[in-house]
Amino acid sequence: MTQTSTFVVKTTFAFLLLICLPLTLATAQTVITGTVIDDLTDEPLAGVEVRALSVFGATNAVGAFELRVGIPAGEALHLSVGIEGYQTYETDLVGNDSGQIDLGTIRLQAAVGLNQTILDELIPSISLADGDLDANGGGSQNISGVLSASRDVFVSAAAFTFGQARFNIRGYDARYTSVLINGLPVNDLETGNVFFNHWGGLNDVFRNRTNTIGLGASTFAYGGVGGASTVDTRASTQRKGLNVSYALSNRTYRNRVMATYNTGMLASGWAFSASASRRWADEGYVAGTFYDAYSYFLSVDRQLAKNNVLNLTVYGAPIKRGKISGATQETYDLAGTNFYNANWGYQEGKKRNSRVQNINQPVVMLRNDWALSDKLALTTSLGFQTGRTGNTALDWYNAPDPRPNYYRRLPSYFEGDTRTEIEQLWEDNPEIIGQIDWDQIYQANYNGFQTIENADGIAGNTVSGLRSQYVIEDRRTDLSRATANTVLEAFLSDHLTMQFGLTYSDQTTANYKLVDDLLGGDFYLNVDKFAEFDSSGIFTENNLAVPNEILREGDRFGYDYDLHIQQTNAWTQANFRFPKVDFFLAGSIGQSKYWRDGKVANGKFPDSSFGESEKLSFTEVGAKGGLTYKINGRNYLLVNAAYQTKAPYTQDAFTSPRTRNQVVSNLTEEKILSLEGGYLLRSPKFKARAMGYLTRFEDQIFNRSLFLDRVVQNAAGTSGGFVNYIMQGINSQHAGLELAVEVNVTPALRATAVAAIGQYIYTNRPTATIYLDQLAEEVVKHTVYIDNYNVAGSANEAYTFGLNYTGSNFWFANLNFNYFAGTWLDFFPERRTTEAVSYVSDPTIIQEVVTPDSELWNSILDQERTPSAFTMDFFGGKSWKINNVFLLLNVGVNNLLDKKDFRTGGYEQFRFDFDTKDVNRFPNNYFYSFGRNYFVSLTFRM
Amino acid sequence: MQFKYLFSFLFFAILGLTFSGCVDQAFDEPPVRGLPTLTANATIAQVRDLHTLGSNPTEITEDWIIAGLVVADDESGNLYQNLVIEDASAGIVIRLGSAGLFALYPVGTELFVKVKGLYVNDYNNLYQITGDASGAVIAGPLISQYLVAGEKKEVMPTPTTLNEVLNNPTVFKNLLSRLIILEDIQFADVDLGATYAVAGGGSGRNRTLEDCSGNAVVVRNSDFADFAGEPIPAGNGTLTAILSVFGTTVQLTLRNTDDVQFTGTRCGTGPIGGDLVSIQSLRAAFAGGQNAGPDNSKIRGVVISDLANGNFNSRNIVIQDGTAGILVRFTGNHSFALGQELEITVSGQEMSEFNGLLQLNNVPLGNAASQGNGTLPEPRVATVAELLANGNAWESTLVRITNATLNGGPTYGDGFTVADGTGSIPTFTFFSASFSGTPIPTTVGTLTAILSDFNGLQLNMRNIGDADFMGGSGGDPTAITAAELRTLFADGGSTVPAARLLRGIVTSDAGNGNLTGRNLVIQDATGGMTVRFTANHVFTLGEEIEINVSGMELSEFNGLLQLNNVPNANAVSYGPGTLPTPRVATIRQVLDNLEAWESTLVKIVDVSMPEGGTYNGSKILEDDTAQIALFTRTAATFSGATVPTGQFTIVGIVAQFTEAQLIIRNLNDIQ
């Protein structure tokens, strides 16, 4: 922690305490009670959120709630009661002297207007980033979809309307938001990411969500700087009845069927919930992307005692789908579409995708909710997850690069007549020259008859057959994790509630490749083709235990290692509530320990690749606090601050985990300091929110493997090499404003306006250390000049204006007008070094450097921003009641204007032509938002 | 309620149906590609005949399809971006812009080539099919437009002999770029112990292959071949290879080491080695009537002839031991240098006289084995009279005559006699000798040479160092001008005469890196000269220097005349001088006077560079009269600077790299 940030934290806390102390003497609390039932069925509704801004609670299994708030007599307080699928009940309460307000029975009516469940379905979380991209390209995940359950206008817009433009709230990666299911954290310990596809297609049963955005206090977890979100999947909190739906779309899948049946809490003390879905497409919006996903879910509640419920939840969502590639504009133009996908080709007349994602990571969870007394509640969960996560890709040995968009195959690589001739081929038949030629790949494998002597390291063992030149490999990151979590909530007084939490996670990720398809050959060899180019002997062997290893389908090759991660975390939080102010203080401390365990000895690193690495251990601490000042029951001011340290992610902590145990030197915890403050207005007719935030990250790490030209300089000359590129000590700053207004113009017409304006920049010049991948040799260490460059991955400015009309005959329509001011492209740090702008490795005079501020200079250094874009979305729906059956039709159309040139992001290729300085030699890659796309669903509910 | 059950049933039925409707992601393996229905309508010979060797690439406009069998591919890396195909008529190389060609077109594939639109040309007399008029490869993405793979067939090499391919032009032409098989051959002894090439290097390596009848041929191996680091086999046997050519040098190209089956015993007149005999006893045996070397015997001595300076036939060496010397004539060109110590197996080897000079004749290169550097024998100091008296015994040994005067000339190559008062003896110098153009000294001095015989005793100098007149410098130094040096070279001279000094102003700018560090350009009132030192020099632009050019090599490097390998110590600085005023000329005039103006400064007005971009590399410079290349090294400090647009004035040094070119010194040369 720097001195500055220490100072800021200390002063912030001092400030909070000072202004809070006098107020703790204020008046008593008012207890608000009530029961929530379904207007139609008279069934009690469990899990309904009752919120008086900063204070919130939920109904129990019989629909009852009790909320303690400070509310001076005569003042109005805005209260909302809501759950997905129902219209939110809102009212203004007026404080009285009795300290008691009983709202009696609140009847919630089934939602007919736009609500979260419908939004969940209608608005795609099209995130091209969700694993579609190569590691090369800016890879932040879109976290919006999960955070959506909020009835907050801003968050809702951020999640759904801005999601299509790769917008992340405050520009944060998913790793800064804690996501929990039944109290168990599910952020991947290796990368921090959240794998939403582990519960894809289970929309019906994953809708009970509670979120905290930003630095506010949450009762279920300490939370990251982005906030925390938890999903409650208990059977007793699921809405009773049968739900069957069919949906048609032209997005990533074409069809979806989904069925869910919930019993609610039965008189016998049991509750059951079951859900299953299937989503599929022979081809999605983009050519060559098939989609084939199932999901299943079973949850059982058993009332052990009046105050003790045990829950078992099992779910899984096996998915297989063809992925999309990013491409350069040249390729998009050649193909005639911005939805060109280089990953597929025709095989026997059918489109075959070479990059298939295949995930099946089922989860089992046990949860216990135990009200020890009316002052103490204990929630304890245990979870276990295991399975496979695979992504396939072509691998090849000595044969030509099969990728149709390989730069040496594109017209721009050639000149004169040759270029024209190739351009003509693209024009005449882009589906041949622009896609993978599977026939040729098979033909090459059929040609490859070879005899391998001493195969598998056994003297005299001779194997003959077709040696595949090309194979499809499956890159596996199979994770297994066990998690235990417990939270004790203590209602110590009318003014003080405290939480104590303890979490332990143990995750092992098995990282390896296996041969998925020999593509007509008989075997493949476990040797490193890149190493073979330079050397011979054991250097080329990927597995020293079995030299000359013959590989058949299903055999592991290349690399094989486990990453073990153990995390322990304890936290506590104290929430103080008074009539004029609420404030909270929280602290957390934890330890993160991890190590690599190599399963094979690699020929390049015979001594450092096999077995366990050094065990790295980091201490993680956090402190945060916040204050809400209630001007009156409708107007609030709030300020929150947090300081946190985080262990480096394992993916950044090893120089090259594929090949060796070598640890990045000078590893240190990432430090995060964040402040936010704002104003909130709540009333039944008018809601407004204005928030500002400032977050500083220090000591971030960037760790990639890439091919770097001109990296090796010795007597024999200059050559390129595959390197581990590690940038350490990166500081960045995210600052911005969030504004949202919602007006109920008439009871039927609602208007919303939302703006998110942020600036996410790097604030220093970090140091990059470059190691040769094959030799573990530090070859270069130099400064990277990226101060004031923009952090990529999220639109910096997004605006939307929406009109929502709810008709009297159970229909609604919604129209949104959106404006996005462009996204910065991910940049290649090495292009911002002295080497990139000089003609000699160590320039001493100005003539040895590209003329500063010349066109060439700027083309090398400037960071590109995508153009701004205007889009429109429509959602509408209608419901009918036939006997006891509800029929709901919902329609969502995104990008109504069919804007097909809306760049949502992109990245510079991690390759630069140091000799000629021509940035167009390896041009930028871009992603485009889908053109007009729709989602129509028909739901039967009984 | 019944309605509800009906619905339930309906929906679970639909659900079941949709669950069973599957996304079909099972793929058949494609069958081995169906054979093409193409048939050839032309032969490789017809394609070759479209092109005249040495001329520009010839576009093939006929709608021809040729069918050839792939006889060599790129699998081992010895060929890169090349396939070699042959049909009944001929063979040819196809240049293709892709790695891993063997994966798609392996050896044995019948390859149909739709040659219309392609080009046929030759690379130093080797016919090849290329993608465009510049001789470039057929671009990777276009390969499948021209090549169609057919059936896989057996590849049968054509049997032949080295004698045929080397000496019978018809056979050579017919077999060029075909797979041939040779029997009873072996690598030359000089290469034994070497590897095929140098793994990790970056070029090609020549290895000599010889048969048992004195024929030798080069095998060219690439450092990128996967067998580059393997040692060549020592035995004798069968070799399969592609017959190739580079200029006039016949070459063989291996596909992999399976092509080399050398398991038999090496040939030669006897086994290598044997008992050491003295050269004197060998000579004595010949004098005694014996015309073959004694059984089981070898000689050992130091090479006293100097291959490098060209005054000896390239198949011959003269070797001397402590007793005597002898000329050895090999079956092929050797590479033994002056001072190398050799063992040569002489068992059964022919001994004969050639115009009176005794020689060991037709010795296979394999009979000679290097023993490393030896110690040169001290020349025998003798008078001419003594030489003439002991001719037979002293033949093929080093001798030295003091107080010698040379008569004849005016150059060594013109022939001269040596006299010392006791008598006179003729000399013989090849025109190819490095010093043949050097004028003979007119003073008295010492001459060292090998005593030889060509129908009478004569002397053969080895190099210019053998003439030591007036203390080695050949007289008081005198000035020589750049123009005189150029005339000397134009008249056939390749070495500067002794005692010559060249003085002028440095017109090149070492500081800006546009010449290699060893080179400078000097200009005097008569002209300019490029000087290449043995190491990087320190002279700056405008410095006046004097270079002792006595005996220095005058040679052309890609057309640019230079004083080569000048020791740095030979040059002395006289401080800053006055730069010559550049000659104002047009590009046309520069081109017309290239040889005379080479290495001088010229100034050309109203020039432009239409290509734009940076200086780096060869860029077109033009005025109203013509175009010339402006060449800038990547290492030049200004190579990345952008060239001016529009017209400007340029000052530069006239240079030549095959074609005329201009070199600027720094950006001040652009106005």
pLDDT exceeds cutoff 90 at A331? yes
Using a CB-CB cut-off of 8 Å, the residues of chain A touching B614 are 916
Q: Which helix (H) or strand (E) holds A387?
A: none
Whole-number pLDDT of residue B203: 82
Find out whether B563 and B485 touch, Cβ atoms under 8 Å. yes
Whole-number pLDDT of residue A119: 58
Confidence of residue A107 (pLDDT cuts 50, 70, 90): confident
CA distance A478 to B411: 85
Whole-number pLDDT of residue A138: 31
Whole-number pLDDT of residue B268: 62
Distances (CA, A) of B277 to A519, A648, B268, B305: 68, 79, 18, 21
Find out whether A312 and A300 touch, Cβ atoms under 8 Å. yes
Query: Given B32, B101, B139, which is nearest A414 (Cβ)?
Result: B139
Task: Count CB atoms within 10 A of the CB of residue A91.
Answer: 13
Find out whether A198 and A363 touch, Cβ atoms under 8 Å. yes
Which range scores top for mean pLDDT: A77-81, A207-211, A406-410, B632-636?
A406-410
DSSP state of B490: H
- State whether B8 and A447 contact (CB < 8 Å): no
Confidence of residue A40 (pLDDT cuts 50, 70, 90): low
pLDDT (average), residues A318-334: 92
pLDDT exceeds cutoff 90 at A499? yes
State phi, psi for B199 to the nearest 5 degrees: -60, 135
pLDDT (average), residues A68-94: 78
Q: What percent of chain A has pLDDT over 70?
A: 90
Whole-number pLDDT of residue A1: 42
What ipTM score was computed for the predicted complex, to two decimals?
0.77
* Cis preceding-peptide flag for B233 (omega within 30 of 0): no
Whole-number pLDDT of residue A123: 52
Q: Which helix (H) or strand (E) holds A623?
A: strand A616-630
- State whether B100 and A278 contact (CB < 8 Å): no
Using a CB-CB cut-off of 8 Å, the residues of chain A touching B26 are none
CA distance B257 to B76: 9
Q: Which pairing describes strands A635-646 and B82-86: parallel, antiparallel, or unpaired?
A: unpaired
CATH number of B275-373: 2.40.50.200
Whole-number pLDDT of residue B32: 65
Please indicate whether the domains covering B2-16+32-152 and B275-373 agree at the CATH topology level.
Answer: yes
Window 83-122 of B, Cβ < 8 Å to A: 98-104, 106, 109
Distances (CA, A) of B109 to A446, B102, B104: 12, 10, 9
Find out whether A265 and A251 touch, Cβ atoms under 8 Å. no
Q: Tell me: the pLDDT tens digits for A692-724? A: 999 999 999 999 988 888 777 766 667 778 899
Query: Which of A42-56, A458-472, A741-755, B425-439 shows the lowest mean pLDDT across its residues?
Result: A42-56
CA distance A838 to A848: 6
Whole-number pLDDT of residue A114: 54
Whole-number pLDDT of residue A25: 40
For A279, name the nearest residue in chain B, comparing CA atoms only.
B19
Whole-number pLDDT of residue A352: 95
Residue B558 in tokens: 């890609």
Query: Given A281, A439, A839, which is nearest B640 (Cβ)?
Result: A839
Please provide the average confidence, as pLDDT, over all residues in chain A.
86
Residue A592 in tokens: 């993160």
* B63, amino acid identity: D
The three-state DSSP-derived secondary structure of A190-249 is CCCCCCHHHHCCCCCCCCCEEEEECCCCCCCCCCECCEEEEECCCHHHCCCEEEEEEEEE
CA distance A702 to A781: 14
CA distance A236 to A216: 28
Window 128-147 of B, Cβ < 8 Å to A: 131-132, 136, 139-142, 144-145
CA distance B304 to A819: 89
CA distance A254 to A234: 30
Q: Which fold has domain B583-669?
A: OB fold (Dihydrolipoamide Acetyltransferase, E2P) (2.40.50)
Task: Count CB atoms within 10 A of the CB of residue A119.
Answer: 21
DSSP state of B474: I
- Start-to-end Cα distance in chain A: 57
Architecture of the domain whose range is B380-468: Beta Barrel (2.40)
A803 touches chain B (CB under 8 A): no
- State whether B132 and A418 contact (CB < 8 Å): yes
CA distance A701 to A731: 9
A368 vs chain B: nearest CA distance in angstroms?
Answer: 33
* A287, amino acid identity: A
Task: Count CB atoms within 10 A of the CB of residue B288.
Answer: 7
- State whether B103 and A400 contact (CB < 8 Å): yes
CATH class of B478-576: mainly beta
Query: Selecting from 3.30.750, 2.60.40, 2.40.50, 1.10.1070, what CATH number does the domain B158-264 have?
Result: 2.40.50
Distances (CA, A) of A145 to A124, A162, A817: 9, 11, 20
Whole-number pLDDT of residue B122: 92
- State whether B140 and A347 contact (CB < 8 Å): no
Find out whether A157 and A750 touch, Cβ atoms under 8 Å. no
- State whether A418 and B131 contact (CB < 8 Å): yes
Distances (CA, A) of A886 to A37, A264, A398, A669, A787: 18, 19, 62, 54, 58
DSSP symbols for A813-867: EEEEEEEE---BPB--GGGGSHHHHBSSSS--SGGGBPPTTSHHHHHHHPPPBPP
* A731, amino acid identity: N
pLDDT exceeds cutoff 90 at A51? no
- State whether A848 and B637 contact (CB < 8 Å): yes
pLDDT (average), residues A198-216: 85
- Indicate the burial class of B63 (C-beta count within 10 angstroms; 0-12, 13-18, 19 or more): exposed
CA distance A253 to A934: 11
CA distance A836 to A829: 10
Query: What is the side-by-side strand order in the sheet with A227-231?
Result: A184-185, A177-181, A227-231, A209-213
pLDDT exceeds cutoff 50 at A348? yes
Is pTM beyond 0.90? Reply is no
Q: Where are the domains of chain B?
A: 2-16+32-152, 158-264, 275-373, 380-468, 478-576, 583-669
Query: Which of A337-351, A535-549, A868-882 shows the lowest mean pLDDT across its residues?
Result: A535-549
Q: Tell me: the pLDDT tens digits for A798-855? A: 999 999 898 878 888 989 999 999 889 999 999 999 889 988 777 777 778 888 889 9
**Burial profile B378-416: b = 16 or more Cβ within 10 angstroms, e = fewer:** ebeebbbebbbebbeebbbbbbbbeebbbeeeebbbeeb
Find out whether B544 and B504 touch, Cβ atoms under 8 Å. yes
Residue A109 in tokens: 């009516």
- State whether B103 and A291 contact (CB < 8 Å): no
Find out whether B525 and B581 touch, Cβ atoms under 8 Å. no
SS3 A441: helix
Q: Tell me: the pLDDT tens digits for A874-896? A: 988 888 888 878 888 989 898 99
Whole-number pLDDT of residue A883: 81
Q: Which helix (H) or strand (E) holds A263?
A: none
Helices (H), A661-754: none
pLDDT exceeds cutoff 50 at A145? no
B613 touches chain A (CB under 8 A): no
SS3 B177: coil
Q: Which pairing describes strands A611-612 and A581-598: parallel, antiparallel, or unpaired?
A: antiparallel
A746 touches chain B (CB under 8 A): no
CA distance A169 to A229: 14
Task: Count CB atoms within 10 A of the CB of residue A685.
Answer: 12
pLDDT exceeds cutoff 50 at A641? yes
Closest CA to B652 of B636, B667, B638, B669: B669
Find out whether A255 and A246 touch, Cβ atoms under 8 Å. yes
CATH number of B2-16+32-152: 2.40.50
* B56, amino acid identity: N
Which portions of chain B are predicted below pLDDT 50? 1, 269-271, 471-475
Find out whether A326 and A133 touch, Cβ atoms under 8 Å. yes
DSSP state of B273: -
Alpha-carbon dihedral angle through residues B661, B667, B670, B671, given to the nearest 10 degrees: -170
CA distance A110 to A97: 35
B256 touches chain A (CB under 8 A): no
CA distance B638 to B626: 25
Residues 6+ apart with CB under 8 A from A373: none
Whole-number pLDDT of residue A43: 77
